[in-house]
Structures are given as structure tokens and as C-alpha cells.
Amino acid sequence: MQDQYFAHPMEEVRPFSFNEDVARVFDDMVTRSIPFYHEIHRIILDLLTCYAQNGDVVYDLGCSTGTTIVLMDQHLRDLNVKFVGLDLSPYMVKKATEKIWQHHITRAKIMQENVLEYNLEKSGVVIMNYTLQFIGPDKRQELLNKIYQSLRPGGILIMTEKILPETPEFRPMVSELYDSFKRRNGYSELEISQKRQALEKVLIPYTPTEHYDLLKRSGFLRKEMLFRWFNFACFLAQKN
């Protein structure tokens, strides 16, 4: 369904949540509001080709509607791996489960879980697409520590996030360029404004340096930003 969640004036713009109405239009929402959304998936698949091994557990933390798992299953059809998708939203879990069934995927498990509380088993790949930005800043180090401990030697974390430019003076310009991107994809000024208000204090971006520091403190000595578009970036980190 086309995303019109913020298309009409709201008496009160409430904090953004992954509720039933958002889940219904989420696939269109992310395609139109996240730059190079499909290319990020291509990057993930290329990295899986390089690093995924037979017997690996592949986690998608914050799996939303399950699109990433469907693409990974198709890409790794000749590799013996297991996919586990976790999401806190019951509406996202329902959508993801339906999508897994529709694609006849039998080696994936979708669960409604808090990633901060879930005990990760030994894994080869952990993916977080636009997930850490919704985790409270005081909990992010704890989550990355847990991910590092769960990975086998040589295992990887792929993390895509909305970021803050390092130079504060550039931030208004970058924000305006991002708004222009959304306008090109058909969003109105009202939609852009109301969504920005809804995400305030819910989505808290970090600078690249802050992400590198979190990864380093978790134990990741090998880390790299592989992709960036203004205020979005994809990071790769590998356990030694």
C-alpha cells in the first residue's frame, strides 16, 4: 500500500511507532524515504557472498516486514544457513511471517523479541538495518557488545544507519538535501514536517565517529564505512 500515513493534518503528532498502520505501508515508506534502499540490500548480498559459511546462523535484528530475509534466502539458496528475524513490533512480525510463508521459506524463524533481552546464539552474520538508531543511546553499547560476543571468529556485523554529519555547520544543509530527496519521491511538505516531528527524540542518529567508537569498544578492530549518502551510511565490522 502507498504510504500516506502523514498525508493529513494531525491534531497531535505522536511519537513515531511501528504500529499496525505503519506496518501496512512500511515497504512503500522505506522505499521512498530511505536513499538507495535497494542498493543497500545489494551490498548486504555481496557481503554475504564473501563471508557467510555453511552452518551459519544469520540474524536480522529489527527485521521489520522480512524483506531482507527473503532476499538473503534467495541469494544463499546453495548454502546451509538458518535465518532468524527479531522485531519488537507484533505488526511487523505478522507482516514478516506472512512474507516468509508467501515465499515458501522454511529455514527462517521470525520472532517478536526485544533485541536487548534476547540471547543470541553463535552466529556468522548479524544485520541491523536502521535499527540501532531506535535503541536508547544508553543501551547501544550493551547491544553491540552482545552481538560481538555472539559472532564466530571471522563473523560480521552489517549495520546501516541514519547518521549525523561530523561538522555541525553542515547539518542543516544535509537535512535540507534529505528533505529534497523525499519531495522527489512524492512526499508533501506536510508529510515531511509531521514525520520529522514524530521521529524527534525517537530516532537519535550518531556521527560516524560515534559509531566507530561503539564498535571499537565492543571489540571490533576491523570496521569500515562501505557506503554513504549524505546522512545515511552502511558499516561493516568483523570479529577477529
Q: What pLDDT is stored for residue 221 in this prediction?
A: 96
Specify the pLDDT at position 19: 98
Flag whether 163 is in a domain: yes
Confidence of residue 217 (pLDDT cuts 50, 70, 90): very high
Q: Tell me whether residue 66 is in a domain.
A: yes
Is residue 132 a part of any domain in this protein? Answer: yes
Looking at the domain assignment, is residue 233 inside a domain? yes
Q: Report yes or no: 52 and 107 within 8 Å, Cβ to Cβ.
A: no
What's the pTM?
0.97
Mean pLDDT for the stretch of residues 110-115: 98
Question: pLDDT band at residue 61, thresholds of 50, 70 and 90?
Answer: very high
pLDDT tens figures, 136-177 = 999 999 999 999 999 999 999 999 999 999 999 999 999 999
Per residue in 8-20, pLDDT tens? 999 999 999 999 9
What beta strand segments (E) does the chain contain? Answer: 57-61, 82-87, 108-112, 123-129, 151-162, 222-229, 232-238
Q: Residue 69 falls within a domain, yes or no? A: yes
Domain assignment of residue 106, given as a range: 20-238
In a domain, 11, yes or no: no
| Residue 4 within any structural domain of the chain | no
Burial class (CB in 10 A: 0-12, 13-18, 19+), 23: buried
Q: How many domains does the chain have?
A: 1
CATH number, domain at 193?
Answer: 3.40.50.150
Chain segment 25-60, per-residue pLDDT in tens: 999 999 999 999 999 999 999 999 999 999 999 999
pLDDT, residue 64, reads 98
Domain for residue 10, yes or no? no
Q: How far is CA 94 from the centre of its chain?
A: 18
